[in-house]
Amino acid sequence: MTQRKRIVAGNWKMNGSLELINQFAETIKTDLYPNVEVIFFPPSPLLSAMAGKGFNTGAQTVSEHDAGAFTGEVEAKLVRELGCKYTLIGHSERRTLFAESDAVLVKKFAKAQQVGLTPILCVGETESQRDADATEQTIATQLNAIIDKLGVACLQNSVIAYEPVWAIGTGKTATPEQAQSVHKFIRDLIASKDAQIAATLPILYGGSVNDSNSELLFAQPDIDGGLIGGASLKPDAFSTICASAVGNV
């Protein structure tokens, strides 16, 4: 079986503080998690402080535009200059609360790669879409928006995160079997276009992952780690999640 990178990423959303970064610096020792890449996505004002503690960092979003008259936006090139390696693209909260369309996300994905950032593309269905048996159709549309415009080769330097919208911040979690089924669908869809890329592409699960369920989720053959929300704000819980990824390398 092809060895894929294991990743545990913490999305702090609009939470966190300098004090919390110091707590994480005391608790999270990344050398304790061999073969697992640990990444933090704090709010933009905390990126420098997080990187200053030696952590891998990424931006929660970047603009599709270059420098210009875009008040409040985050320029991808500046994020890279701060030492960030990653950026989230298309988190469900960006798609819904900020009305980011697939067309805009294609531009953000391309801009991230242009400046040397690795995009983590978030895909996932709402509860109503799942109830309508439209999970696979929804995710295929989100993935193909990128592939059709940029070509499947763009996925070589990327990560996919499957986040069922109904499980984000709700306490609901897809069962390991449900999550694995969707991850396999994603990998098979990409394999239909390029088998080698599909075999090596990390696919993360996100959606109320915590220190109690991470081990079973990460044990699934097509789940390569997690994009963690609330539990990424708790140093001890996040440490346990990172350790559970090690056990399944």
Radius of gyration of the chain (CA): 17
Nearest partner of 169 among 62, 38, 13, 8, judged by Cα: 13
Nearest CA to 145 out of 102, 179, 188 is that of 102
Give the integer Cα–Cα distance in Å for 52 and 218.
29
What tokens were used for 93? 């909260």
Domains in the chain: ranges and CATH: 14-26+37-44+55-62+73-246 (3.20.20.70)
Beta bridge partners of 121: 89, 160
Residue 170 has pLDDT above 90, yes or no: no
In this predicted model, what pLDDT tens digit does every residue of 9-23 receive, in sequence order? Answer: 999 999 999 999 999
- On whether the CB atoms of residues 222 and 182 are closer than 8 A, the answer is no
Predicted confidence (pLDDT) per residue in 84-137, tens digit: 999 999 999 999 999 999 999 999 999 999 999 999 999 999 999 999 999 999
Does 248 have pLDDT greater than 60?
no
What is the distance between the terminal CA atoms of the chain, rounded to a whole angstrom? 12
Q: Among all chains, which residue has been given the structure tokens 């990653």?
A: 86
pLDDT at 2: 54
Distance from the Cα of residue 188 to its chain's centroid: 19
What does the pLDDT read at residue 174? 84
Tokens of 29: 């020792």
CA distance 60 to 44: 8
pLDDT at residue 146 in the model: 98
Active site residues: 91, 163
Please spell the DSSP secondary structure of the chain, one letter per residue: -----EEEEEE--S---HHHHHHHHHH--GGGSTTEEEEEE--GGGHHHHHHTT-EEEES---SS-SSS-TT---HHHHHHTT--EEEE--HHHHHHS---HHHHHHHHHHHHHTTPEEEEEE---HHHHHTT-HHHHHHHHHHHHHHHH-GGGGGG-EEEE--GGGSSSS----HHHHHHHHHHHHHHHHTT-HHHHHH--EEE-SS--TTTHHHHHTSTT--EEEESGGGG-HHHHHHHHHHHHTT-
For 186-227, how does the pLDDT look when each residue is reduced to its tens digit (9 = 90+)? 999 999 999 999 999 999 999 889 999 999 999 999 999 999
- Residue 1, pLDDT score: 44
pLDDT of residue 105: 98
Task: Please check the confidence at residue 147 and state whether its pLDDT lies above 70.
Answer: yes
The arithmetic mean of pLDDT across residues 230-248, rounded, is 92
230 is in an annotated binding site: yes
159-162/203-205 β-pairing: parallel
Q: Which amino acid is at 175?
A: T
Q: According to the annotation, is 229 in a ligand binding site?
A: yes
- What is the pLDDT, as a whole number, of residue 168? 79
Q: Are strands 203-205 and 86-89 parallel, antiparallel or unpaired?
A: unpaired
Q: Give the predicted TM-score (pTM) of the model.
A: 0.95
Percent pLDDT > 90 in the chain is 90
Q: What is the pLDDT of residue 56?
A: 96
Q: Is 13 annotated as a binding residue?
A: yes
Structure tokens at 117: 């950032």
- Mean of per-residue pLDDT scores for the chain: 94
